[in-house]
């Protein structure tokens, strides 16, 4: 049914090898359950494979098989809540197989390829629309531990810790909303995919929109300009968005250093310093 790309699943964690080996069987079971016919080459991201399919009535869709962990476990629930409002439509879900049947979008066209002004405007529209969605009790308010790190200035660590102590809202937040995760659709021009849901303040979702397409910004002025454009387009609280950006930049900086991702660590460091006005 499918051939999994070599190297897929590296870095996912314990049990990933067995899961990757089971993917052909899982795909076969899901196609049998939903009467799907493969309709294109297999695609993959970091933690999922996606197979274009045709449903029994001929309509196009995609079958997504996802590695289930704390970041991905509530993706189906979030998609049910969005119910296609600015997001890819969930057609069906099989928790046992880790399988999602989704409407098919144009994976060759994302906001990554659009002028940044257009991308920011689209993202802002999605943020405004999604402000009304409350996170259910199953979706948690997650904080990474703000620990000391020898390579991260203590003043930034302390500032991030202070942000983490503040009360949060209960909005359904996609913590991984960025330009590559918004694809061209037929039902709507642009639709969000792959939500990583959290409960909290919508402003918590700004950081990926700054580190993605980072090289297009001209220093801190460019960073400020994009940040303010995103806040205006999404009707976000500027100070709250800056504070959550600081918190996430610091914690992601530490993670990148520990994982040996020096390039991304440099970007996080720059954003953290900017957010702290350092």
Asked whether the predicted pLDDT for residue 171 surpasses 70, the reply is yes
Q: CA end-to-end span of the chain, whole Å?
A: 54
Q: Looking at residues 116-139, what average pLDDT do you find?
A: 96
Q: Is 5 helix (H, G, I), strand (E, B) or coil?
A: coil
Q: Looking at residues 27-37, what average pLDDT do you find?
A: 97
The predicted-structure confidence for 148-160, as pLDDT tens digits, reads as follows 999 999 999 999 9
Which band of pLDDT confidence, cut at 50, 70 and 90, is reported for residue 277? confident
Asked whether the predicted pLDDT for residue 144 surpasses 90, the reply is no
Dihedral in degrees, nearest 10, Cα atoms 78, 80, 82, 85: 140
215 labelled catalytic:
no
The predicted-structure confidence for 74-108, as pLDDT tens digits, reads as follows 999 999 999 999 999 999 999 999 999 999 999 99
**pTM above 0.75?**
yes
Q: Where are the alpha helices (DSSP H) in the chain?
A: 16-34, 75-82, 116-130, 154-164, 207-211, 219-234, 238-259, 262-275
Q: Looking at residues 248-257, what average pLDDT do you find?
A: 96
Q: Which domains does the chain have, with CATH numbers?
A: 16-104 (3.30.200.20), 110-275 (3.90.1200.10)
Q: Looking at residues 189-205, what average pLDDT do you find?
A: 96
Q: What average pLDDT does the chain have? A: 95
pLDDT of residue 142: 73
The predicted-structure confidence for 200-227, as pLDDT tens digits, reads as follows 999 999 999 999 999 999 999 999 999 9
In the chain, DSSP finds a helix count (H) and a strand count (E) of: 8, 11
Residues of the chain with pLDDT > 90, as a percent, come to 93
Asked whether the predicted pLDDT for residue 115 surpasses 80, the reply is yes
Annotated catalytic residue, options 57, 85, 121, 176: 176
Asked whether the predicted pLDDT for residue 278 surpasses 80, the reply is no
């Amino acid at each position: 049914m499918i051939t999994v790309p070599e190297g897929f699943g590296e870095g996912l964690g314990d049990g990933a090898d067995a899961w990757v080996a089971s993917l052909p069987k899982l795909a076969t079971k899901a196609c049998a359950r939903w009467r799907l016919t493969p309709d294109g080459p297999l695609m993959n991201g970091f933690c999922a494979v996606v197979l274009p399919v045709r449903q029994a009535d001929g309509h196009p869709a995609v079958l997504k098989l996802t590695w289930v962990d704390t970041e991905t476990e509530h993706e189906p629930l979030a998609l049910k809540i969005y119910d296609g409002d600015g997001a890819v439509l969930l057609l069906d879900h099989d928790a046992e197989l880790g399988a999602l049947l989704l409407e098919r979008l144009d994976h060759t066209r994302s906001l990554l390829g659009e002028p940044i002004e257009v991308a920011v405007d689209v993202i802002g529209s999605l943020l405004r629309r999604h402000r009304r969605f409350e996170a259910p009790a199953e979706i948690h308010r997650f904080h990474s531990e703000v620990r000391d790190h020898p390579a991260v200035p203590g003043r930034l660590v302390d500032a991030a810790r202070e942000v983490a102590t503040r009360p949060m809202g209960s909005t359904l937040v996609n913590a991984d909303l960025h330009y590559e995760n918004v694809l061209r659709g037929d039902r709507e021009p642009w639709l969000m995919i792959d939500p990583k849901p959290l409960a909290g303040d919508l402003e918590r979702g700004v950081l990926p929109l700054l580190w993605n397409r980072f090289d297009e910004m001209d220093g801190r002025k460019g960073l400020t300009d994009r940040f303010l454009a995103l806040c205006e387009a999404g009707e976000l609280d500027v100070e709250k968005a800056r504070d959550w950006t600081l918190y996430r930049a610091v914690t992601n900086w530490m993670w990148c250093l520990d994982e040996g991702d020096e390039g991304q660590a440099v970007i996080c460091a720059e954003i953290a310093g900017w957010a702290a006005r350092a």
